[in-house]
Structure 1
């Protein structure tokens, strides 16, 4: 995996989480800006997943390859599900739902980086 891309993803997910918490504190439901923030994170995550999957299926062997691939899929799926759940019935807590999804995604990305580093790649 690319270390700089991981850092950019972590910054984007943490910023999205903070934005979700701030809008929750101001009693505002999720709006178009939340969708854009999640969309930016998703573009970065899909790019990371494509690079990592290409390298894994291209010959890189990891000690826990199936775990890595599962985390890769989970990292892509969490934020869109959180956004859908948050906007299904817009309330002030939608931002908190997005924040929790963003934090969960950040943890998955950190775990991906750890599994990649354990492979010595």
Structure 2
């Protein structure tokens, strides 16, 4: 995986989590700005997943390839699901739902890097 892209994804998910908490503190439901922020982070995650998948399927040997691929899918799926839950019935807690999804995504990305380094 690309270290710079991983750091960018971790910073972006951290910023998204902070944004979600701020929205909750301000007593505002997630709005268009939040959906755009989630979309931007999701684009980074899809780019990272595509690069990693190409490298894995082109022969990079990992000790736990199946686990790596599961984490890869999870890292891409968590934020859209959290956003759907947060915006289905807009309340002040929607920002917290997205923040938790962003933290879970950051943990998945961090674990991906650990699995990748174990294969190096």
Gaps of 5+ in 2: none
**Structure 2 match to 1:31:** 31
What CA distance in whole angstroms lies between the structure 2 residues aligned with 1:34 and 1:57? Answer: 34
Pairs aligned (count) = 120
Write the distance in 1 (CA, Å) between the matches of 2:37 and 2:22.
14
Question: Partner of 1:44: helix, strand, or coil?
Answer: helix
TM-score (norm 2): 0.99
Tell me which residue corresponds to 1:61.
61
2:48 corresponds to: 48
Q: Alpha-carbon deviation of 1:118?
A: 0.4
Q: CA deviation at 1:107?
A: 0.2
The answer for the alignment partner of 1:118 in structure 2 is: 118
2:23 corresponds to 1:15: no
Which runs of structure 1 show a deviation greater than 6 angstroms over 4 or more consecutive aligned residues? none
**CA offset at residue 59 of structure 1?**
0.5
Q: Where does the alignment leave 5 or more consecutive residues of structure 1 unmatched?
A: none
TM-score (norm 1): 0.99
